[in-house]
Amino acid sequence: MLKANLKALIVDDSDMSRRIAAKIVSRVFVCDLAEDGSIAVRKYKEAIDAGEPYDIIFMDVIMPEMDGKEAVRKIREHEEHTGQQRTPIIMVSASETLEGIEGMVNGLLRKALSKEALDDILRELFPEAMD
């Protein structure tokens, strides 16, 4: 199903959740993983600096160190200050809302992730990459 060299960053403090998401997402994207928001922001900036930005980020909301909402704010601030194109960010949560970051993200997926829900978002954001 991979139609292009698309890269995704999957951010979740649960190793199991990261692995499940990577299994689903890797049908379309080459995946990189991060276990909290601070690591996600660092990896995001490193990918930009290397000239290989992520095409999409899947961000858990509740995490230690730096939660997903704060990580989204830092990523959007970096994009604004550097003129970098906005990376689509999909929040992933069992129960949280997008309160406070509504205009900063491209959607919300509920845990447990389903292939169908993910495919719907990917068709919307990357129609050329989907069958």
Which position has the higher pLDDT, 94 or 51? 51
Domain ranges of the chain: 7-129
Sheet architecture: strand order including 89-93: 30-34, 7-11, 56-60, 89-93, 107-110
Query: Which pLDDT tens digit goes with each residue over 20-59?
Result: 889 888 888 899 999 999 999 999 999 999 999 999 999 9
Please answer whether residues 34 and 13 qualify as being in contact, where contact means their C-beta atoms are separated by less than 8 angstroms: no
Look-up of token digits 């689903």: 24
pLDDT over threshold 50, residue 103: yes
Residues of the chain with pLDDT > 70: what percent?
95
**What distance in Å separates the CA atoms of residue 30 and residue 68, rounded to the nearest whole number?**
21
pLDDT at position 1: 45
Q: Tell me which fold the domain 7-129 belongs to.
A: Rossmann fold (3.40.50)
Model pTM score: 0.91
Q: What angle do CA 104, 13, 56 make, to 5 degrees?
A: 40
Helix, strand or coil, per DSSP, at residue 107: strand
Which position has the higher pLDDT, 131 or 9? 9
Q: Which of 76, 89, 64 is nearest to 12 (CA)?
A: 64
